[in-house]
Structure 1
């Protein structure tokens, strides 16, 4: 039996596959809906048949008992049921009962099961099984039984003696109607219900297929699957990071490059931007798209990377559905820019020194032409002494030659801008490992450049530098500028647009590089207010690798 059920299951599935093969998506949905309607109609028909069968058994069973009781109460039946000629004597009464009740068979049976009188002469003298009846116990009974191989409803009533003994049994039976008879017997009501259900199912299926076809834009299943595969292949193969955010702030698309750049995984898809552990500045940029503003080449520095982001609004059928942000890793570019900035700083320093030396040479030349040789000697001595003082002020505290050279050059460059750059007397720095020295130059150079820029035109116009390597490495740069507002002290390290002049701090990527290099060494960078005004930038590195 189980193998037969398995065979029918496989056969039905293969039939469905053959039915749907080659059809459009809308056609497949229509076929499925029609199949559902057919199953519902079959279920309704089965319920109706079961209900009709139950009603037939209850109603006709009582009818069979009533007919049997009527025959049993007839005086001639009670008097002549044992007569040797009972078959012919009682035949009119038995036939009349069948005709009046609509039953198919009426019989009188003795307690041994022998038919004594019957509406069917061929059953006379036939012995039947009374095993399931209760009439031989003196009770009226109706139930199911096989009569000449046909499933029939039987009602039986005993003929009792005055002392209660069973003298004979009157049996009246009727065959159960066929399936088509039961469906037809349900009447017009069932047919109407089935017809209405089929019509509604067909209309709903047709409307659903139309809606599906409209929303899928006429594409079939294979075409939709192909588009999805191409989309996934494209998103995950491009080098730029792609992040799509819907209008509720949830991430809907996150390709492999974006996962690597942002430190996320596939579990971030479907969650809100501010719930996946993104850098606050990046999360704020992605959520700012809800206002509908596009952004180009926005530089954001995280703890480990410098990212260039571009954001565009996304729409479908005239409605905004969110934003799409692309991002590039600009960390290496930022490092190259830092090197270029260092070279430019050296160039500017050489230019300033050239200008200074040219002025001094012109002065010496004029004094020589005037014959003021004593004045020339005094001027040369003063210039030499001043240069020695600057060099000594740096080299007696800074033993690393690269850092010392940077500070000497920045001192001259700041002086040309009218800013006094001084190194505190308690500063100290031993010779560093060349790799660390390069990073310290990047940190110190960007901080000094920023401090000089904001100090130009201020009342004091000075920049103070403190360096200490007693416990790790401490760099402090204090300026006399307007200071940094509290609400900008985080974003000033994170975000800048190199093509715009109104970047906080005026340096664009410079302060972002400070944060990036500091984070790469496991250090921290902070901003505080100076005692006499201005801002104080403090960089702490956990340890310094000395030579």
Structure 2
């Protein structure tokens, strides 16, 4: 058994058939209108002619005289028979006052009753319309014949009979042919243009749909929706005018976009600043890789690609990844890394000190060994006392001790300002303070260590606390921050090194997020000696009361 499967028509074929059907309907409608116009013209023109002829015959003295005679048909018949040939009408009938036909172009009707279109004709009123006469539909004018009073010889309107003049109505085919000698030509031209236009339209649509059929387009749309809403990353597409043409649920959530954002521009959605620059490609060229942007309390990593076809720019597609949680994990890992660096730095420092002590012992300088060990102990005790006496929160104090050892290894002196004063903080607030302080110190040490200068390399930390806030100030002897990057270092997620042209990070971006979450802010200014970062965070009322 052979199964025969019917081949589905293509989209272009379906459109062509649909267009041809529309053309046929239009042609039928045009023909119907033409026929209606032809019928109206026939009724108007021929109706006037038969009505005028009926009025003329109704006023004929011969008819008025003969209809009063006992046998008027013999005198009237020759006149009636000559009228069709003379005036080109179909039928002429004359009836007397009793309604009997006395003369007609059809002799078989003589003696039969005449059919009146309106009873008022017998009362002396004319009538015009269509009637079936002798088996055919005719346009008829019925005109009464009125006589004079035999005594006064004046026209008193005495009803003598009726004259019926008829013109056969043309058939539909005759009307179609007679409607216009060029109607068929016009219809043929219109049909030809319609076919060619339909073919061109079908071809254009097929080219625009890349030769895909409706079921294939529907399948692609379903797959696209499943793909967009199934991936964990945000996706947003813009047209050349920076209007949103596509965005998935993740992208809408990450960018805080309204539900009905399709078709709206970035300006209408109030997307400005760094985020707009990345989405619109301002200053980043056709492609942007791993751009860090802060939006709505989130650290977003964005990758943008321009879409082109046949050399024409169609818009752009940008993917977004939320790295906020990842950044926090990096900070935790950074804490372990800092501890490792501290241990390594201390091991290195202890190794150098042990080598010095060993050398002094080998050369017999035993008293110098004692003095050297005493000096190391006093320096260590002095540093511990300085930090712990001014910073009573153990987590922050431990962080400063660790950063001091790492900075010393890089030949950078870490100072604690004499104006520093910090009480014990709740664990959550202490962690945020440590995060902000650690990021600022890392950026400062990086900037100072990578800067070549004859001046001593130092970084100074100052922590102040009052009843409402905690303020962290980090100064350094580095090159400072360019004025045009004073805000961008936080928006872009630059580190101090990145501000000089290095790689980008998210340390300062995370610092700003922590400050915003705590109801504060972070800023950077340049001093005569270098850069100064100032971060401020609000303190809960209970903490302020405990501090007082």
Query: Could you tell me which residue of structure 2 aligns to residue 445 of structure 1?
Result: 438
Asked if the contact 2:100/2:110 (under 8 Å) is kept, the reply is: no
Query: Could you tell me which residue of structure 2 aligns to residue 414 of structure 1?
Result: 407
What does 1:313-352 correspond to in 2, within 5 Å?
Answer: 313-352=306-345
1:338 is displaced (CA, Å) by 1.9
Change (3 A) 1:217 1:63: same
* Cα deviation digits, residues 125-172 of structure 1 (max 9, x gap): 41533537679546x653345557865322233434333414433221
3-state SS, counterpart of residue 275 of structure 1? coil
Change (3 A) 1:187 1:410: closer
Query: Could you tell me which residue of structure 1 aligns to residue 113 of structure 2?
Result: 126
What does 1:111-122 correspond to in 2, within 5 Å?
Answer: 113-120=99-106, 121-122=108-109
Asked if the contact 1:52/1:185 (under 8 Å) is kept, the reply is: yes
Query: Could you tell me which residue of structure 2 aligns to residue 293 of structure 1?
Result: 286
Task: Select 2:234's aligned residue among 213, 238, 241.
Answer: 241
Asked if the contact 2:493/2:508 (under 8 Å) is kept, the reply is: no
1:56 is displaced (CA, Å) by 0.7
3-state SS, counterpart of residue 181 of structure 2? helix
What does 1:482-497 correspond to in 2, within 5 Å?
Answer: 482-495=479-492
Query: Is 1:515 paired with 2:512?
Result: yes
Asked if the contact 1:78/1:159 (under 8 Å) is kept, the reply is: yes
3-state SS, counterpart of residue 267 of structure 1? coil
* Cα deviation digits, residues 502-547 of structure 1 (max 9, x gap): 76576722212212333333432222233x3422222222225859
What does 1:173-188 correspond to in 2, within 5 Å?
Answer: 173-188=166-181
1:487 is displaced (CA, Å) by 2.1
Asked if the contact 1:135/1:157 (under 8 Å) is kept, the reply is: no
1:123 is displaced (CA, Å) by 5.8
Query: Could you tell me which residue of structure 2 aligns to residue 57 of structure 1?
Result: 43
Query: Could you tell me which residue of structure 2 aligns to residue 86 of structure 1?
Result: 72
Query: Could you tell me which residue of structure 2 aligns to residue 284 of structure 1?
Result: 277
Change (3 A) 1:187 1:31: same
Query: Could you tell me which residue of structure 1 aligns to residue 3 of structure 2?
Result: none
- Scaled by the length of structure 2, the TM-score of the pair is 0.86
Task: Select 1:477's aligned residue among 458, 467, 474.
Answer: 474
Which moved further from structure 2: 196-205 or 148-157? 148-157
Query: Is 1:66 paired with 2:62?
Result: no
Task: Select 1:171's aligned residue among 156, 160, 164.
Answer: 164
Work out the number of aligned pairs and report it: 525
Change (3 A) 1:136 1:199: farther
1:496 is displaced (CA, Å) by 5.2
Change (3 A) 1:135 1:187: farther
* Cα deviation digits, residues 71-128 of structure 1 (max 9, x gap): 3344432210122322343122112113333323222244565544333332634153
Task: Select 2:355's aligned residue among 357, 362, 365.
Answer: 362
Change (3 A) 1:132 1:241: farther
What does 1:394-473 correspond to in 2, within 5 Å?
Answer: 394-456=387-449, 457-458=452-453, 459=455, 461-470=457-466, 471-473=468-470
1:434 is displaced (CA, Å) by 2.2
Asked if the contact 1:142/1:155 (under 8 Å) is kept, the reply is: yes
Distance in 2 (alpha carbons) for counterparts of 1:300 and 1:460: 35
The unaligned stretches of length 5 or more in structure 2 are 1-5, 149-153
Asked if the contact 1:135/1:156 (under 8 Å) is kept, the reply is: no
Asked if the contact 2:485/2:499 (under 8 Å) is kept, the reply is: no
Query: Could you tell me which residue of structure 2 aligns to residue 99 of structure 1?
Result: 85
Change (3 A) 1:363 1:290: closer
3-state SS, counterpart of residue 29 of structure 1? helix
1:446 is displaced (CA, Å) by 0.9
